[in-house]
Structure 1
Amino acid sequence: MCAGDHPLFIPTDPPPVTVELDSGWTLAASGRVADAGPQISAAGYLAAAPVWHRVSRMPATVLDALQQDGTYQNVYAGTNLRDAVPQDLYLQDWWYRTTFEAPAGHSTYRLDFPGINYRAEVWLNGGLVADSSQLVGMYVDHDVDITDHVVAGGSNVLAVKVVPERAMQDVDGVELADSWYDWINSRYLGVPGNSFVPDRNAGIFKPVYLSASGAVEIGAATVNTDVHLPEADSARLNVYVTVRNNSARPARGTMRAVISRAGKPDIGVEQTVTLGPGERRELTFDPGRFAALELDRPDLWWPYTLGDPALYDLKLEFWQRDHVIDSTSTRFGVRTFRQHRDSDERFPGSGGNFYLTVNGRDFPVRGAVYTPDLLFRDDPGREDATLAYTRDLGLNMLRLESKIPGERFFERADELGIPLMVGWMCCNQWEKWEQWDDEDRAVALDSLRSQAQMLRTHPSVAVWANGSDGLPPEPLRTQYRAVLRDLHWQNAVVDTVSAQAREDWDGIHMAGPYSWRAPGYWLAGRYPATRGATAEQGDNEHIPPYASLRQFIPPDALWPIGETWYFHAGSDPRNAVLTSAQRVINRRYGPSAGAEEFARKAQLAHYESTRAQFEAFAADGSAEHKMTMYWMLNSPWPSFFGHIFDWYLRPGGAYFGAKAGLRPLSMVFDAYAGADHSAADITVTNQSASDADGLTARVRVYDLQGRIREDRTVTDVAVRAGDALTVVSLPRVARDSPVFFVRCELIAANGAVVAENVYWQSQQRDDAGDPAADRPFETRQVSWADMTALNRMPRVALQLGAERNRHGGVTVFLRNPTGRIAFFERAEILAGSGGDEILPIRYSDNYVTVFPGETVEVYATVPAGGPEPGWVRVSGYNTAAQVVPIG
């Protein structure tokens, strides 16, 4: 018998290869193509314009691709998404086509489609590889064996026919894809029920990969880490990896796992395995058999707010006769998230509120809800900017309600130390369980299996939610849990993030609100929505800064507010026409004469409400404030739907209000929200990972003329990590000033100002009414603060300067030489003297107030590779806009 005939010998292949198929793609509507799969996937087929559209960037949904090539332009401007784009794109099937070279000499070739919406046929070189009954599900990762169809060492033609999600007239979607529900305005899109874009996000929306390997192939792998608590001085690792023999003969070899991190000795373990023909098996490396997997003093992965997000590398190799047959690599973090319930039973159900610990430390969540682009556009730069803003804000978790992006997003979250909650979406077919058929049930479980397998090894992924607004029924709930268990899911699991009036709720409630609330609402301690653990709350009606507004509302529709504005609002009838936003801004700050004035006043309202939401969850420490998730972090398109920053990545009032409320150390003024409203509590909050002492708290009150009416100082303040301490009780002062300013400064022992908060307060108080009458989608104030005196503030002429600093950014100097207050000053870094703000951008602070005789410094950081900063524009509530060059 020669060596090649040995039953445990497999011929040596070249090193394994995985490549992304991201170029050379074209797209066509199937109804405009006379040919079928055998012809379209054949060499020499002419995929010519205008029937075939060149896709300049893949992955891309249908409408994204058609916008790329100019078929439809500026679809986000005005009402173009409705009026300039056919609304029946989803009623057609679509062909994607490309060619690729396959490396020679390998035993196994596969195509991986981690994201096709919703069904697909795959044709290669004239032959059908998989049909639309096999490839079903937006969130199912489709792994297709093409070994029998590929031209190894030559050119191949791939054609994928995508069948979009369909819907019948009597239901809001019949397949487990994704809608935008109330995130876009179905009323003005002309689509009843759930909101969809014209193609229903059909297409290939995640990267396509070609892999070439030996006959033995390494599959999915993960590392579970169990940190020894409470000391956190050691950890046990369990490595799980699947291996598959794709040949018709037995195969024997060695699986090797090497764990490495710079500055640490490598850890290597291996085991011998024999696989039968076609056998697939999961291998385990555990500390019981491999003592090296018991780590002493490992570098832990921490959320960035608590420490360094340390990462380890895992390399897996399958060896035969001194040759690597296949190999894979992944990264992981050594950390342990655990879920708990407190003893607070004031909310429906029992068992108290949900909360998390990480590596044995309490982890109060201060988060927001993330969304991808409305067309699921693949844009790494936008993802990076969004995650950078997340850290700049001080948010410590993002929630993804379905709309799950590609793996790169999670890799970046791992590196940046940003924890994530991921799960299925509310309200559409994912929670219409009574409409499911057998295929839906299979797709649901396959979808969970695919997403959990991708997410499980990422240290950033802290929580999986099987449901959003609803509770999955049995037996589905048990089946979901079984999938997670089989995949060794090591993170928190909840079945719903909406409190149920039953014993099986998971300790998270969803009472909103989804409309604007005055600061006193958040800080009064009377409203259930402001306590416990909540998965979404914020304001569904956000007005972007005027510079953004002009980019998507045409000039003839900018004022008065009308149909074009509503087209970009949410879909719920209570926010579809921006009722609360208009009422709040008009009642609180006075009617506006145009869009620019309205947007300027809106930033004030968004700043004070958003800041108060996060302050409320800090001011009493974490005892009753386990989790708040702002609804939402960002916008899927230029819109008025709730966001902390808009689609153009322009930070507005909500952004800097949130940033102030999320400071590690700060001072919070409670807006006289206490029981009798005669005095305000001013509290030092510590949301950092370390105790703080030797602090000085100073509180000053100014009237509208800029005169100091109260000045109090408290020394030797000490606050433990995660705690808060009330330091001043401030009576109502300056009663002759209809609006006054409360200035709170926290000063370190060396005299440096750690944090400064400026509040504008009306003598006429806000009253949000009886908590029992609170309605999440409506702003129902009983009485309103009157801030209109701000419109009559004396004008101030600031002295401005700007220079490049040693950190590569820009320092802006705002000097007030007068005896008046310069209020709500916004600095913008420009490339040219008359241009737009450079975006994305990060500022140390903004919308600042400059008190008489003082100078405020604002530090700006522009990402590398962007436009060069050249000018600074500063405008304020009572100052004229000025533009100065950067020195």
Structure 2
Amino acid sequence: MKNILLILFMFGIYLTASSQNQKTLLKDWRIQSSEKVGNKGELISSGNLNKKEWIRANVPTSVLNALMVNGAYKDIFIGKNIEKVDTKAFKKAWWYRTIFNIKDLDKTFLLKFEGINYSAEIWLNGKKIASEEEVVNPFRQYKFLVNKYLRKGDNILAVKVYPPKPGDYTIGFVDWNPAPPDNNMGIFRDVLLISNNGVSIEDPYIESSFKNGNYKETDLIFTTYLKNFDKDIKGDLKIKIGDISINKKITLKKGEYKKITLTSKDFKQLHLKNPKLWWPHTIGTPELYHAKVQFIANGKEIDSQEFDFGIREVSQYFTKEGHRGFKINGQKILIRGGGWVDNMMLNDTPDYIKAQLEYVKDMNLNTIRLEGFWGKDQTMYDLCDQMGILVMVGWSCHWEWEDYLGKPTDETYGGITSPKDIEMMSEAWKDQIVWLRNHPSIFAWSAGSDCIPKPELEKKYFDIFHKYDSTRAYLQSAKEWTSLAGPSGVKMRGPYAYVPPVYWYKDTLYGGAFGFNTETGPGAQVPPLESIKKMIPEKDLWPINDVWDFHCGRNEFNTLSRFTEALNKRYGEAKNVEDYAFKAQVLNYE
């Protein structure tokens, strides 16, 4: 999604480049605990309020992040300050409230929530449009037709967000970070008010098909859904891809929801010769195409969408030893990457994300692995498309271990085992795939990490994968499991702590340099001195103590002892923090 171009109204409605009619609610939100302002949604979503009681917030934001921005908590990342945050404040529901202006009620209006953690009631102008039983799970996306609730002029939207509880499939940092004191409760992704003139273009998608390893020609397959909210209509579906223009006559009955598929069999323009291919940056140029989709009736634009996509093929092979390998556009590629996780407050900025990805390229890596569907929006995925960085996306092991999930788990299948949970998480899987599938940088969807999905769940995952996006790899686990999909062909044997460089060449059983190792690392990674001073109080800078260890990982990763022992033995015992930080960079590089 491109940057916001033009402010339309007061009260936080913006026009974005992804659609002529799509608006993003960003500014002038207020939040407050239900403990202070009560639970009556019909009152909170109508009439005036005492602004002094409410806290200004920019959505998307977690509750704690909004409080930090407003100065309620300071320097929580220094020392052990995060332990001083009272978690009781986040056991209750919190309200999010905004006002937006509607000038023309003749349009069709849809209200879309791209991510709420964990469940929510949604109120508009004194009326409840969804309950906390209907809006559940941060990875589900929800869209509501709201015309009957709207009025001309100011409209008041109030969202009562309930925090995740033990056993909920929430956003998780596993053992990489302490759990945020609010468990990231809040509206952590965009809220969109989408308008059209009676017909909605939904989930447009373009995939490329190659034949017999010939990459000098490709067939594009375009799919979208059209939803008619009005009377019977005839119109033209227009697609423009670079210099290619396509026009398809469409008839929709009142209330009809129709899937449209266009191929080169009907439109020769969709057969491309000498296409500009998307490549990882270590092989070639990550070429992108821009698509614009319009539905026109009686000379009037009813709806439109715009998006970027790439033309490329992801394929797999298995070695005689059973190790999985990947090809991009028929060319074998050695996957070299690192793990990616969002900031603990889920408040990464575009500049911060870009800087991190530039590090990836500077280190000559070509991949990042996301244990989770990270991102408060699609900025990171857009940048990976543009920079030629492959992305492996999928579920985290956070839900596969009882200590993190907060309820008993199965040692093979993790926590998602009940029929209710299987249904919810398969819908979340679908929502995330559909949301992200136009990104050529994504080369694998991962359905599990340390475990595999229960067969009933994997069948649903697999059906969704084949229905909505089978142009990339399906990976059932990051570990050596065999499931309905066959063997994973990958390994997850560590190591997770310091080993000397010779290990990678000598070891032939565990994490050595053979096969596809989905996760491994040196454990602790001590940052430069400037960064150390941003997190460790001056009085605790030397010698290393429990404050340093507090900033390590959790559980068995909560100490620098092994790293420090290796540093002292290889480079001589550190004399002070400056000496330690310098030698740590050498050890990190090694």
**Fold conserved between structures, TM > 0.5:** yes
Corresponding position of 2:544: 561
For the residue of structure 1 that corresponds to 2:52, the secondary structure is: coil
For the residue of structure 2 that corresponds to 1:166, the secondary structure is: coil
For the residue of structure 2 that corresponds to 1:257, the secondary structure is: strand
Corresponding position of 2:56: 54
Give, in whole Å, the separation in 2 of the partners of 1:259 and 1:502.
40
Give, in whole Å, the separation in 2 of the partners of 1:473 and 1:21.
38
For the residue of structure 2 that corresponds to 1:122, the secondary structure is: strand
Give, in whole Å, the separation in 2 of the partners of 1:123 and 1:501.
46
CA-atom RMSD, angstroms? 1.8
Residue 381 and residue 273 in structure 1: after superposition, are their counterparts in 2 closer, same or farther (change >3 A)? same
1:127 aligns with 2:124: no
Cα offset, 1:527, TM superposition: 4.8
1:508 aligns with 2:490: yes
Aligned pairs for 1:252-651 (under 5 A) are: 252-260=234-242, 266-344=243-321, 352-405=322-375, 406-428=377-399, 433=414, 436-500=417-481, 504-524=486-506, 526-530=508-512, 531-573=514-556, 575-608=557-590
Cα offset, 1:142, TM superposition: 1.4
Cα offset, 1:544, TM superposition: 1.4
For the residue of structure 1 that corresponds to 2:175, the secondary structure is: helix
For the residue of structure 2 that corresponds to 1:536, the secondary structure is: coil
Corresponding position of 1:210: 193
Aligned pairs for 1:144-293 (under 5 A) are: 144-152=144-152, 154-167=153-166, 174-185=167-178, 196-247=179-230, 249-260=231-242, 266-293=243-270
Corresponding position of 2:74: 73
1:43 aligns with 2:20: no
Q: Note the alpha carbon deviations across 1:638-696, whole angstroms, 9 max, x for none.
A: xxxxxxxxxxxxxxxxxxxxxxxxxxxxxxxxxxxxxxxxxxxxxxxxxxxxxxxxxxx
Cα offset, 1:489, TM superposition: 3.0
For the residue of structure 2 that corresponds to 1:254, the secondary structure is: strand
Q: Report if aligned partners of 2:482, 2:488 keep a CA contact under 8 Å in 1.
A: no
Cα offset, 1:438, TM superposition: 4.0
TM-score, length-normalised on structure 1?
0.61
Of structures 1 and 2, the one scoring higher in RCO (CA 8 A, sep 6+) is: 2
Q: Note the alpha carbon deviations across 1:215-268, whole angstroms, 9 max, x for none.
A: 111111110101344331100100000000112x322222121111xxxxx212
Give, in whole Å, the separation in 2 of the partners of 1:514 and 1:103.
58
Residue 97 and residue 502 in structure 1: after superposition, are their counterparts in 2 closer, same or farther (change >3 A)? closer
Q: Note the alpha carbon deviations across 1:560-609, whole angstroms, 9 max, x for none.
A: 22221121111132x2122211211122223223222222221221111x
Give, in whole Å, the separation in 1 of the partners of 2:147 and 2:190.
20
Give, in whole Å, the separation in 1 of the partners of 2:483 and 2:253.
50
For the residue of structure 2 that corresponds to 1:198, the secondary structure is: coil
Q: Report if aligned partners of 1:122, 1:131 keep a CA contact under 8 Å in 2.
A: yes
Cα offset, 1:160, TM superposition: 0.7
Q: Which sits farther off after the overlay, 425-434 or 442-451?
A: 425-434
Q: Report if aligned partners of 1:496, 1:505 keep a CA contact under 8 Å in 2.
A: no
Give, in whole Å, the separation in 1 of the partners of 2:276 and 2:177.
44
Q: Note the alpha carbon deviations across 1:518-561, whole angstroms, 9 max, x for none.
A: 11112335453121101111112111122211111111112222
Amino acid corresponding to residue 447 of structure 1 in structure 2: A
Residue 100 and residue 333 in structure 1: after superposition, are their counterparts in 2 closer, same or farther (change >3 A)? same
Q: Report if aligned partners of 2:373, 2:394 keep a CA contact under 8 Å in 1.
A: no
Give, in whole Å, the separation in 1 of the partners of 2:359 and 2:106.
44
Q: Report if aligned partners of 1:16, 1:214 keep a CA contact under 8 Å in 2.
A: no
Residue 279 and residue 60 in structure 1: after superposition, are their counterparts in 2 closer, same or farther (change >3 A)? same
Q: Note the alpha carbon deviations across 1:16-69, whole angstroms, 9 max, x for none.
A: 5212111001111111113521111113222323xx2111x3311011111000
Any stretches of 5+ residues in structure 2 without a counterpart? 1-18
Q: Report if aligned partners of 1:229, 1:359 keep a CA contact under 8 Å in 2.
A: no
Q: Report if aligned partners of 1:229, 1:360 keep a CA contact under 8 Å in 2.
A: no
Give, in whole Å, the separation in 2 of the partners of 1:403 and 1:563.
32
1:110 aligns with 2:110: yes
Q: Report if aligned partners of 1:251, 1:276 keep a CA contact under 8 Å in 2.
A: yes
Corresponding position of 1:140: 140
Give, in whole Å, the separation in 1 of the partners of 2:490 and 2:99.
49
Which structure has more helix as a fraction of its residues? 2
For the residue of structure 2 that corresponds to 1:302, the secondary structure is: coil
Give, in whole Å, the separation in 1 of the partners of 2:39 and 2:311.
53
Q: Report if aligned partners of 2:114, 2:140 keep a CA contact under 8 Å in 1.
A: yes
Q: Report if aligned partners of 1:515, 1:539 keep a CA contact under 8 Å in 2.
A: yes
Cα offset, 1:323, TM superposition: 1.3
For the residue of structure 1 that corresponds to 2:374, the secondary structure is: coil
Amino acid corresponding to residue 363 of structure 2 in structure 1: L
Q: Report if aligned partners of 2:373, 2:432 keep a CA contact under 8 Å in 1.
A: no
TM-score, length-normalised on structure 2?
0.91
Cα offset, 1:500, TM superposition: 2.5
Give, in whole Å, the separation in 1 of the partners of 2:268 and 2:197.
31
Q: Note the alpha carbon deviations across 1:56-92, whole angstroms, 9 max, x for none.
A: x331101111100000111111111112x11234311
Amino acid corresponding to residue 325 of structure 2 in structure 1: Y
Q: Note the alpha carbon deviations across 1:799-820, whole angstroms, 9 max, x for none.
A: xxxxxxxxxxxxxxxxxxxxxx
Q: Report if aligned partners of 1:178, 1:403 keep a CA contact under 8 Å in 2.
A: no
Q: Report if aligned partners of 1:60, 1:378 keep a CA contact under 8 Å in 2.
A: no
Aligned pairs for 1:656-805 (under 5 A) are: none
For the residue of structure 2 that corresponds to 1:132, the secondary structure is: coil
Give, in whole Å, the separation in 2 of the partners of 1:47 and 1:26.
8
Any stretches of 5+ residues in structure 1 without a counterpart? 1-14, 168-173, 186-195, 261-265, 345-351, 609-887
- Structure index of larger Rg: 1
Residue from 32, 39, 45 that aligns with 1:28:
32
> How many pairs are equivalent?
559
For the residue of structure 2 that corresponds to 1:450, the secondary structure is: helix
Give, in whole Å, the separation in 2 of the partners of 1:403 and 1:285.
29
Q: Note the alpha carbon deviations across 1:758-803, whole angstroms, 9 max, x for none.
A: xxxxxxxxxxxxxxxxxxxxxxxxxxxxxxxxxxxxxxxxxxxxxx
